[in-house]
Amino acid sequence: MDAPEPDQTPFEAVSAQTTRLGRIYQSYLDKSTPYTAYRWIGTAVLLLLFFLRIVVAQGWYIVCYSLGIYLLNLFLAFLQPKIDPSLTQDEDLEDGDAGSSLPTKKDEEFRPFIRRLPEFKFWHSSTRAIAISFLCTWFSIFNVPVFWPVLVVYFLILFSLTMRRQIQHMIKYRYVPFSFGKARYDQRSGH
């Protein structure tokens, strides 16, 4: 009357399926890595659908505001260098070594701009946040009644102040996080 022991416990079976689904998801992420433009177009379409849902439903403004703050936070991390020059400059002054700043002359060593948040992680986090926010708009518990013009004005003020501070930081420490305005040299001639 003893039943044979199962090969896996229910927890192990769920864990195995979760691991399998995680690997499939990661393989799709890996396959999408070289298609930067298509990934961002898909994210823009998802964001457009989210905004369309907000406008048509006339609600969930707090979800939209939260998404805006999160995307602003991600964008600022995307613009900042991995090693903040203001922090390293403070450390260098304490140590008496002022030579590890960004290169300013032609003969100084070139140091590439390394982002705090790489482009792929920025895209992945943004897309995931937009998808979660879109999902939240289908549940009435997240539809908190607020006066949305106040949220829009507050977001615009917050955006302008943080971007102004970030641009001043970029000017002060002479770094440009984008490559489309930088000079390109021919590899064959060495210039």
Average pLDDT over residues 12-18: 90
- In sequence order, the β-bridge partners of residue 115 are 81
CB distance 76 to 166 below 8 Å: yes
Question: What pLDDT does 190 receive?
Answer: 53
Q: What is the pLDDT of residues 106-124, one digit of tens each?
A: 666 666 777 888 999 999 9
Instruction: Tell me the per-residue pLDDT of 130-162, one tens digit each, with 9 for 90 and over.
Output: 999 999 999 999 999 999 999 999 999 999 999
CA 62 – CA 116 distance, rounded (Å): 28
**Percent of the chain at pLDDT exceeding 70:** 76
Q: What is the mean pLDDT of residues 55-76?
A: 94
**pTM across the whole model:** 0.75
CA distance 28 to 31: 5
Per-residue pLDDT, averaged over 9-17, amounts to 88
**Alpha carbon separation from 80 to 83, 84, 131, 151, 160 (Å, rounded):** 8, 7, 25, 26, 16
CA distance 187 to 191: 7
Contacts of 49 (CB under 8 A, 6+ apart): 134
